Structure 1
Amino acid sequence: MLDPLRLAVGTLTALPVSPPGRIDRRVAGRAMLLAPIAVVPLAVVAGVVLWAGHALGLPSLAVAGVAVGAVALGSRGLHLDGLADTADGLGASYDRERALDIMRRGDSGPTGVATLVLVLIVQCGAMAVAGPATGAAAVLAGRCVLSLCCARGVPSARPEGLGATVAGSVRIPLAVLVFLLAAGLSCLLPGLPWWRGPVAVAVAYAAAGLLLWRCTRRLGGITGDVLGACVETATAAALLALA
């Protein structure tokens, strides 16, 4: 499991890690399953920032902005970039090839910028009223959906790239297991009724699943940008449900 963990950490975070010895679909699938574990350090950072800000009596919205920014910095802004590119692609044209070309360029148009701003507003607003544990849990929940997005039967929109490497690489029973584990562990969140955590996980999965369905219909499958968009959407949905 060392190669999958290295791939997950190296792809989803800015933490220095040795490259995996090999990368194939089996390794890629396991990396997507290990995504929540790989980003535990980022979730801990978000929780510590929230705890310290509340302890010092700092403005909650400003503290939330620092926490969200710290997570984005720790992931090199990878998922936020994917969110903006996906929004531009979906909003630009109903022609599949043109949409994929726009997403490939990497620059952000008005649709991408507006989507990015709105999602960050939701994340910061919800994070402002979340406790350290719930804020950290939402970060992890956002990464749990990667196993859903890479489950068997989900195609790649392109023959190359990150999407082609991980598309369909996760067996459905394992993707379901990740969901059940996330929902079960979220029952233990302090300061909340036992059912709030599982509901937040379900809402995160529903939001990511809806976006995944839309991208699959419009683009023909997933890309690395689509995965990032699903992560940020799921994180915002989880935060909103927990708040």
Structure 2
Amino acid sequence: MTGPAATGSGGLLAALGMFTVLPVPASARVPGPGVLRWLPLVGALLGVLASVPALAVWRGGERGTPLLAAALVIGTLALLTRGLHLDGAADLADGLGSGRPAEQALAIMRRPEVGAFAVVALVGTLLVQVAALSAVLAAGTAAEGVLAVVLTTVSGRVAVLHAAARPAAAGSSLGVLVAGAGSPTVRATATAVALAGAAAAGLAVDGARGGLWWAAGVLLALGAAALVTRHAAHRLGGVNGDVFGAVVETGTTVALVVLAASDAWA
């Protein structure tokens, strides 16, 4: 695929149009292999934007209500992404939870109905994310809170680059467009930048200890997402959009939990 939607700033616009509710020109809403490399940057932007409503009720540490602030951040992320990744996580939970063969599991994932596994996955994910982020916000300044949100939103999306290296599942239009499109260089660069950024942010927040914990948050997020990807690809015969959504939510959640744990073990 060539043209503005696949390369340069057009690739970023296509990624914004595909993965967020942010307004972009209709001509830029053309998904293709090049769109995936912009996901980490999209995640960083989403993290910053999602943090804005929280600042109305929380000003750092215990100044305000960190629990409400965390709920506003997670809710805003869902709104900014149209709930796309949460929907994918729910569908994957229903498909894998069914215990059916790949073809039947994929058919279940395509249904509009929400099953018990999806409900459990959604409720559990949102509860853990809000609780973990609340603990992180209560322990830091406003700037540190925004950095933490950005770290977690980026981590989940870097994980998608790794997931996309696997073949697409049968019948997946999104998978055909982006799975396997990211080069090893793109994946390695995105991972290195995420790790370096996390270490630098953690270093600024809490010295060497913070640098280690924040970098560990990225590594563990990628590791957990890789396990989800491997299991889903094994069960479904490949990856699809629902797998990507589950990978985003898994990476985000694990990164938040690690950051919350760093305060508990201070």
- Asked if these proteins are the same fold (TM beyond 0.5), I'd say yes
- Is contact 1:51-1:132 (8 Å) kept? no
- Is contact 2:17-2:29 (8 Å) kept? no
1:42 to partner: Cα distance: 1.7
Alignment partner of 1:102 is 2:119: no
Amino acid of the structure 2 residue aligned with 1:211: V
Structure 2 partner of 1:28: 32
2:48 corresponds, among 44, 48, 56, to 44
2:146 corresponds, among 132, 136, 140, to 132
- Is contact 1:3-1:22 (8 Å) kept? no
1:22 to partner: Cα distance: 8.7
Structure 2 partner of 1:148: 162
Structure 2 partner of 1:191: 205
1:118 corresponds, among 120, 124, 129, to 124
TM-score calculated relative to the size of structure 1: 0.91
Alignment of 1:207-226 (within 5 A): 207-226=224-243
Bigger mean CA deviation after superposition, 161-170 or 71-80? 161-170
- Is contact 1:46-1:136 (8 Å) kept? no
Gaps of 5+ in 1: none
Alignment partners' CA distance in 2, 1:28 and 1:9: 13
Query: Secondary structure of 1:209's match?
Result: helix
1:46 to partner: Cα distance: 2.7
Aligned length: 238
Structure 2 partner of 1:174: 186
1:225 to partner: Cα distance: 0.8
Structure 1 partner of 2:263: none
> What do residues 125-151 of structure 1 show as CA deviations (whole Å, max 9, x unaligned)?
111022222122211221121211112
1:4 to partner: Cα distance: 1.7
- Is contact 1:162-1:223 (8 Å) kept? yes
Task: Give RMSD over aligned pairs.
Answer: 1.8
Amino acid of the structure 2 residue aligned with 1:208: A
> What do residues 96-131 of structure 1 show as CA deviations (whole Å, max 9, x unaligned)?
111000001132100001011001111001110222
Alignment partners' CA distance in 1, 2:55 and 2:135: 12
Alignment partners' CA distance in 1, 2:151 and 2:33: 22
Structure 2 partner of 1:16: 23
Bigger mean CA deviation after superposition, 4-13 or 204-213? 4-13
- Is contact 1:123-1:236 (8 Å) kept? yes
Alignment partners' CA distance in 2, 1:160 and 1:238: 28
Query: Secondary structure of 1:103's match?
Result: helix
Alignment partners' CA distance in 1, 2:29 and 2:76: 30
Alignment partners' CA distance in 2, 1:22 and 1:136: 24
Alignment partners' CA distance in 1, 2:33 and 2:220: 23
1:157 to partner: Cα distance: 0.6
Gaps of 5+ in 2: 1-7, 137-144, 261-266
- Is contact 1:184-1:198 (8 Å) kept? yes
- Is contact 2:18-2:29 (8 Å) kept? no
Bigger mean CA deviation after superposition, 68-77 or 192-201? 192-201
Alignment partner of 1:205 is 2:222: yes
Alignment of 1:88-99 (within 5 A): 88-99=94-105
Amino acid of the structure 2 residue aligned with 1:150: A
Structure 2 partner of 1:61: 67
> What do residues 134-182 of structure 1 show as CA deviations (whole Å, max 9, x unaligned)?
122211221121211112xx11112442112111111122211111110
